[in-house]
Amino acid sequence: MFSLPDVIEPSVSACSKAQSQLMRALGSRVQIGAEISDDYQTDDSGIIGKRPIAVVLAETEQDLQTALRIAAETEVPIVPRAGGSGRTGGAVPAATGIVLATLGMNRPIELDRGEGSLVVAPGARLSEIHSLVESEGWFYPPDPNSAELCCIAGNVAENAAGPRAFKYGSTRDYVLGLDVFLMGGQKLFAGRRTRKGVTGYDIVSLLVGSEGTLGVFGNVTLKLIPKPASILTMLCSFSQMSDAARAVERVVLARFSPRCIEFLDEKTVSVMREHGTSVAEGTQALLLLEFDGSEAECERQAEEVGNLCVAAGAVDVRVALLAEQRKMLWNTRKQMSHAVRKRALHKISEDVVVPRRSLLELIDEVRRLGDIYQIDTLCYGHAGDGNLHVNFLWNTDEELPRVDGAVRDLFHKTIALGGTLSGEHGIGLLKAPFLGLEQSAPLVDLQRRIKDTFDPKGILNPGKIFPSPGRPNTHGSC
Given the rule CB under 6 A, which residues bind ligand LAC?
A: 144-145, 162, 336-337, 381, 389, 424
C-alpha–C-alpha distance, residues 136 and 131, integer Å: 9
Choose among 75, 95, 71: nearest CA to 22: 71
CB of 161 to ligand LAC, least distance (A): 8
Dihedrals φ, ψ of 82, to 5°? -110, -105
Distance CA 88, CA 464 (A): 9
Q: From start to end of 215-313, where are the E strands?
A: 216-223, 225-226, 230-238, 260-264, 285-293
Nearer of residues 166 and 394 to ligand LAC, judged by Cβ: 166
End-to-end CA gap in the chain: 20
Whether the CB-CB separation of 155 and 89 falls below 8 Å is answered with no
* C-beta of 292 vs 424, nearer to ligand LAC: 424
Minimum CB–partner distance for residue 251 and ligand LAC (Å): 19
CB of 374 to ligand LAC, least distance (A): 25
Give me the sheet containing 54-57, strands edge to edge.
30-31, 54-57, 98-101, 78-81
* Peptide bond between residue 108 and the one before it cis (omega within 30 degrees of 0): yes
> How many C-beta atoms surround the C-beta of residue 465 within 10 A?
23
Contact call for residues 314 and 237 (beta carbons, < 8 A): yes
Instruction: Please say which residue, 179 or 350, places its beta carbon nearer to ligand LAC.
Output: 350
Name which of 291 and 380 has its Cβ closer to ligand LAC: 380
Residue whose CB is less far from ligand LAC, 80 or 381: 381
Q: CB-wise, 337 or 468, nearer to ligand LAC?
A: 337
Give the CB-nearest residue to ligand LAC.
145
Phi, psi of 232 (to 5 degrees): -135, 125
What is the DSSP secondary-structure string of 398-421?
A: GGHHHHHHHHHHHHHHHHHTT-BS
Query: Counting Cβ atoms within 10 Å, is residue 452 exposed (0-12), middle (13-18) or buried (19+)?
Result: exposed
The nearer residue to ligand LAC, 389 or 413, going by C-beta atoms, is 389
Nearer Cβ to ligand LAC (96/387): 387
The length of the chain, given as a count of residues = 478
Shortest Å distance, C-beta 351 to ligand LAC: 6
Of the pair 172, 389, the CB lying nearest ligand LAC is at 389
CA 348 to chain centre: 14
Handedness of CA 10, 13, 19, 22 (dihedral sign): negative
* Min CB(448)–ligand LAC separation in Å: 28
Q: How far is the CB of 13 from ligand LAC (least distance, A)?
A: 42
CA distance 176 to 224: 10
- Which of 370, 362, 361, 354 minimizes the C-alpha distance to 405? 370
Q: Cβ(138)–Cβ(153) under 8 Å?
A: no
DSSP H helix total and E strand total for the chain: 15, 18
Q: Which is nearer to ligand LAC, 98 or 362 (CB)?
A: 362
Shortest distance (Å) from residue 245 CB to ligand LAC = 18
Rg (CA), the chain: 22
Rounded Cα gap, residues 469 and 455, in angstroms: 17
CB of 146 to ligand LAC, least distance (A): 7
Are the CB atoms for 8 and 56 separated by under 8 Å?
no
Check if the beta carbon of residue 349 is closer than 8 Å to that of residue 390: yes
**Nearest distance from C-beta of residue 334 to ligand LAC, angstroms:** 6
The CA distance from 41 to 117, in Å, is 35
To the nearest whole angstrom, how small is the minimum distance from the Cβ of residue 142 to ligand LAC? 11
Query: For residues 19 and 387, which CB has a smaller minimum distance to ligand LAC in the complex?
Result: 387
Toward ligand LAC, which CB reaches closer, 287 or 336?
A: 336
